[in-house]
């Protein structure tokens, strides 16, 4: 357990260091850089992002008088290996309240997409990795996992839409815990309004559990976002609400979130 605690702390420290360095590099490049609303939501946009998101679930399906809250830290960082463009993403949540009564870090998920730009948009493919960084067994899987990740984005007039999918299958970890074998599918829609405002879909992470042969999460909802620029720094603020249609499962019934994205055009 100590090793996973240290891994999580090192990840948070790495995010902080990279975020600070991104701020410095953004200041140098920002005068000529212009950012469009759709770049903040594209699943494969070549854009540095540091995202902080608070998610509150006020009710749970099949669990009475339960609620939960978590804070998500997510870092997106484009990079190159030779002439090949990549996009890496790391996501880690701190659970502040859960139905189990436990709080702490959950598991870390990382992916690395190889990006291919096309005249109609672009797509990317690469590996996704699950790392057991949870600080309590009730907050994570205690499993190492890996699988494919795929992203796609395009535009139709002013409407921007993307699809991101990743699958994770456990291959090591605590033998006493259930194996992980699931796939997540995330459709992303965004339509610009005016003065930096936009409407779009909520997180909408549909999750299919291959061991249960069933969807365990089917959240549907909407989001209102506002992009702003403070001096040379772009920020996007958004609020979203979604309802989970997988009512037969044990999980959040509804979730409201507030997100701040620090955006660094290249």
Q: What is the pLDDT along the chain (266 residues), one digit of tens a residue?
A: 444 444 444 555 455 444 444 444 444 444 334 555 555 555 556 678 999 999 999 999 999 899 999 999 999 999 999 999 999 999 999 999 999 899 999 999 999 999 998 888 899 999 999 999 999 999 999 999 999 999 999 988 889 889 999 999 999 999 999 999 999 999 999 999 988 899 999 999 999 999 999 999 999 999 999 999 888 888 999 999 999 999 998 899 999 999 999 988 76
Q: How far apart are CA 77 and CA 91, in angstroms?
A: 12
pLDDT at 5: 45
Q: How many domains does the chain have?
A: 1
pLDDT at 109: 96
pLDDT at 41: 56
pLDDT at 81: 92
Supply the range of the domain harboring residue 194: 2-264
pLDDT at 31: 38
- The whole-model pTM stands at 0.82
CATH number at residue 36: 2.40.160.40
Instruction: Give Cβ neighbours of residue 149 (< 8 Å, ≥ 6 apart).
Output: 111, 113, 125, 126, 127, 128, 164, 165, 166, 167
């Amino acid at each position: 357990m100590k090793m996973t605690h240290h891994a999580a702390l090192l990840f948070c420290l790495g995010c902080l260091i990279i975020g600070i360095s991104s701020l410095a590099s953004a200041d140098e490049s920002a005068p000529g850089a212009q950012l469009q609303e759709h770049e903040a939501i594209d699943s494969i946009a070549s854009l540095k992002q540091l995202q902080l998101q608070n998610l509150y679930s006020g009710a749970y399906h099949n669990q009475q008088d339960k609620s939960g809250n978590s804070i998500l830290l997510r870092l997106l960082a484009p990079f190159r290996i030779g002439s090949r463009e990549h996009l890496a993403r790391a996501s880690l949540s701190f659970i502040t309240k859960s139905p189990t009564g436990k709080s702490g870090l959950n598991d870390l998920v990382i992916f690395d997409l190889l990006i291919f730009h096309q005249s109609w948009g672009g797509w990317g493919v690469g590996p996704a990795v699950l790392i057991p960084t949870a600080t309590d067994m009730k907050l994570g899987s205690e499993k190492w996992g890996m699988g494919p990740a795929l992203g796609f984005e395009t535009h139709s007039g002013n409407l921007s839409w993307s699809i991101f999918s990743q699958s994770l299958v456990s291959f090591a970890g605590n033998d006493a815990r259930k194996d992980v074998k699931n796939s997540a599918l995330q459709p992303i829609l965004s339509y610009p309004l005016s003065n930096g405002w936009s409407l779009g879909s909520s997180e909408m992470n549909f999750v299919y559990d291959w061991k249960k042969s069933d969807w365990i999460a089917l959240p549907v909802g909407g989001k209102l976002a506002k992009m702003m620029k403070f001096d040379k720094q772009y920020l996007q603020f958004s609020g979203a609400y979604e309802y989970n249609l997988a009512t037969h499962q044990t999980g959040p019934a509804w979730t409201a979130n507030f997100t701040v994205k620090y955006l660094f055009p290249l």
